[in-house]
Amino acid sequence: MRAWFLFIFSVAALIVSDLYAGSKNIVLNSLSENIFIDGYLNDEAWKSATRITDFYTLQPVEGQPADEKTALFLGYDRDYLYLALICFYDDPSNIRATVAKRDEIFEDDFVILYLDTFDDGKYAYQFAFNPYGIQADGIFTEHVGEDFKPDFIFESKGRIFQKGYIVESRIPFSSLNFPDKNVMNWRLGVMRRTQFLNHDVVWPAFTRNSTEWVGQFGKLQEIHSIKTGKRLEILPEFSSFRRDVLTANELKDGPIKGEPGLNVKFGVTSGLNLDVTFNPDFSQIESDENKIDVNRIKPLYFKEKRPFFLEGTEIFETPIQAVYTRQIVNPLAGIKLSGRSGDYSIGLLSTLDEYQGSRDYLIEKTNQNGLYYWMPEYSTYLNGLDKKYGDKKSLNNILHVKRNILENSSVGFLATDREFEDSFNRVYGLDGRFAITSNYVFTVQGLYSQTKDLNSTKSIQDPAFYGNFFHTSDNWNIQLFYNDYAPDFRVENGFIERADISSQGFREAGIQTWYNFQWKDRSLQNFTPYFYTTRIYDYNGAVIENNLVPYINLKFDFKTDLTLTYYYSKEFYNGSNFNKNDYVIDIQNSYFQWLQLDLHHFTGDEIYYYSALPFLGYINYNSSSLVLKPLDFINMEFSYRYYRFTGGNGGVNYGLTQDIPRLKVTYQLNQNIAFRIIGEQVREKYDDPAFDYLNSGQLDFNFLASYTPSPGTVVFLGYNDLQQRNDNYTGGWLFNNYRRSQRGFFLKLSYLFRL
Give pLDDT tens digits for 3-48.
Answer: 444 444 555 454 444 555 556 888 999 998 889 999 999 898 999 9
Q: What's the whole-number mean pLDDT along residues 245-250?
A: 84
Query: For position 229, what pLDDT does the model report?
Result: 56
CB atoms within 10 A of CB 565: 17
Residue 38 lies in a domain: yes
Q: Which helix (H) or strand (E) holds 368?
A: helix 359-368
Q: What's the CA angle centered on 76, arms 70 and 82, to 5 degrees? A: 45
d(Cα 114, Cα 206) in Å, to the nearest integer?
Answer: 13
Q: For residue 285, with 0-12 CB atoms within 10 Å meaning exposed, 13-18 middle and 19 or more buried, which class applies?
A: middle
Residue 120 lies in a domain: yes
Percentage of residues in the chain with pLDDT exceeding 90?
A: 55
Q: What's the whole-number mean pLDDT along residues 124-144?
A: 92
d(Cα 580, Cα 602) in Å, to the nearest integer?
Answer: 13
Answer whether residue 665 shows pLDDT above 90: yes
Answer whether residue 428 shows pLDDT above 90: yes
Answer whether residue 616 shows pLDDT above 90: yes
pLDDT band (50, 70, 90) for residue 281: low
Q: Which helix (H) or strand (E) holds 361?
A: helix 359-368
CATH number at residue 127: 2.60.40.1190
Q: Write down the H helix ranges in 221-344.
A: 307-310
Q: What's the whole-number mean pLDDT along residues 528-536?
A: 96
Q: What is the mean pLDDT of the chain?
A: 88
Query: For position 287, what pLDDT does the model report?
Result: 54
Residue 620 lies in a domain: no
Answer whether residue 493 shows pLDDT above 70: yes
pLDDT by residue (tens digit) across 333-368?
999 999 888 889 999 999 999 988 888 888 888 887
Highest mean pLDDT (candidates 264-273, 298-307, 636-645, 717-726): 636-645
Query: For position 408, what pLDDT does the model report?
Result: 81
Domain range for 70 = 2-224
Q: How far is CA 376 from the centre of its chain?
A: 43
Answer whether residue 734 shows pLDDT above 80: no
Query: For position 15, what pLDDT does the model report?
Result: 44
Answer whether residue 1 shows pLDDT above 80: no
Q: What's the whole-number mean pLDDT along residues 629-647?
A: 94
**β-pair partners for 334:** 277, 351
Residue type present at position 154? F
67: Cβ contacts below 8 Å, ≥ 6 apart? 90
d(Cα 602, Cα 623) in Å, to the nearest integer?
Answer: 9
Query: For position 574, what pLDDT does the model report?
Result: 84
Answer whether residue 67 shows pLDDT above 70: yes
Query: For position 712, what pLDDT does the model report?
Result: 86
**Strand, coil or helix: 175:** helix
Residue 337 lies in a domain: no
Residue 677 lies in a domain: no
Q: What's the whole-number mean pLDDT along residues 120-146?
A: 91
d(Cα 279, Cα 455) in Å, to the nearest integer?
Answer: 30
Answer whether residue 285 shows pLDDT above 60: no
pLDDT band (50, 70, 90) for residue 182: confident
Answer whether residue 103 shows pLDDT above 80: yes
Residue 734 lies in a domain: no
pLDDT band (50, 70, 90) for residue 495: confident
Query: For position 231, what pLDDT does the model report?
Result: 78
Residue 661 lies in a domain: no
Of 304-308, 358-362, 402-406, minimum mean pLDDT range: 304-308
Residue type present at position 142? E
Number of domains observed in the structure of the chain? 1
Answer whether residue 318 shows pLDDT above 70: yes
Residue 107 lies in a domain: yes
Q: At 466, give phi and psi (nearest 5°).
A: -140, 140
Instruction: Name the pairing type of β-strands 155-161 and 164-172.
Output: antiparallel
